[in-house]
Structure 1
């Protein structure tokens, strides 16, 4: 139960941090840079996805060992944010590209400042994309095994690290139950998200009819 609590806490923190950073980066790049500069910035933010997770985990271990961030919640959190941020940024940026900038210009012409445009125009329209990004960030952190094996230790042990130990050095059948429960929780979350999207879409479809 303790590794489960640690993994849930880290995953929630990763989802929160990546949603904040990913949303801000998407807004800054898509609304503040030219097309060529935005392409370069997007490629730079996608770089963590190009490295195999085992290689990234080993690199994190070498870097964090020198500053004593191994076997710590902060070290795992920073590593998970690094690999989860591209997912959130890509999803929010894709949703932002579908929005018509005339909405923001119309709000500005009516006296709305930057914060008002963000709070009353952009964030409500991007809510679905932000929610999907948060969900992917949560699952990425919760299920990440390679980084957890490298960075977890005696004091901080995540659920994937505990499952790895149960498979490699123990013969505990409990691991099967945990795996089934994890898949069931993920399936439930996906079903809830699909139901919410269907419910939000129904009034729009009836209005068009």
Structure 2
């Protein structure tokens, strides 16, 4: 069809089965979210179906109760700070690796990306024993540094992918015109790789905002983040407020996905404008 050869009945059946199977897999993945969403509007004090009534009381508690507002504030502060650090360090690391020609490059890249590969619980235990003598446990600074280490590899990957289509001759041209290395990077490189940098920053923020294992080991009572508060709530006292928090986190994730799709399209447009 559409100018090609007509499909046989076997191909049409296979296509329909593929669509049905894909829809079932999508429904299976979305079912937990679809189940939580109505519970967040329940007027009852327990997580039960059918709903006794509809109410916004749990959203009100989420935005007014000190335990939840404090956890949300900590998550935002730690997430933004670690995102800034991870974006700067990850972008510089990706740019340096892109220009480096050495047999040691794969080894260095593996070390840089190791926080993505090593199980997070091992990384968290290692960070705990490293931070404890330095007095960085039970502190915002320790959590920011820990989340920076976990988030930086995502920035390295996205920026490295963007640099694959970057013509390094542009840097040489800028240098031949008298631009310093910093000016050349700021005026030539950064505008072209900005979609990749922004995508990496979004991944870094999502990684920090959703992280709970290192928070369990490194955080004190004053550094409880939103995932930590939700985890503790599930263990100690299951409250429908957790469903409201889950819905808000889901909406945040959807917003990040939409933003990353917009950045991906902008990156493709820029690649189409700049010759390799």
For the criterion TM > 0.5, the same-fold answer is yes
**1:98-137 to 2 correspondences below 5 Å:** 98-137=165-204
Distance 1:102 1:203 in 2: 17
1:38 offset after TM fit, Å?
2.5
Partner of residue 156, structure 2: 89
Alignment equivalent of 2:252, drawn from 157, 175, 185: 185
1:179 offset after TM fit, Å?
0.7
Task: Encode CA deviations 1:72-129: one digit per residue, 9 max, x unaligned.
Answer: 1011111111111111112112211221111112222222221221011100011000
Distance 1:105 1:75 in 2: 40
Secondary structure of 1:148 counterpart: helix
Distance 2:179 2:95 in 1: 17
1:66 offset after TM fit, Å?
2.7
Partner of residue 86, structure 2: 18
Deviation larger for 192-201 or 15-24: 192-201
Secondary structure of 1:36 counterpart: coil
Q: State yes or no: 1:171 paired with 2:238.
A: yes
Alignment equivalent of 1:27, drawn from 77, 95, 103: 95
Partner of residue 47, structure 2: none
Deviation larger for 61-70 or 90-99: 61-70
Instruction: Pick the structure with more helix per residue.
Output: 1
8 Å contact kept, 2:120–2:213 = yes
1:200 offset after TM fit, Å?
7.5
1:50 to 1:201, Cα distance in 2 relative to 1, 3 A = closer
TM value normalised by structure 1: 0.89
Partner of residue 152, structure 1: 219
Task: Encode CA deviations 1:144-164: one digit per residue, 9 max, x unaligned.
Answer: 011111112212211111111
8 Å contact kept, 1:107–1:117 = yes
Secondary structure of 2:137 counterpart: coil
Asked which structure has the greater CA Rg, the reply is 2
1:24 to 1:199, Cα distance in 2 relative to 1, 3 A = closer
C-alpha root-mean-square deviation of aligned residues, in Å? 2.2
Q: List runs of 5+ in structure 2 lacking aligned partners.
A: 1-68
Distance 2:118 2:227 in 1: 20
Partner of residue 27, structure 2: none
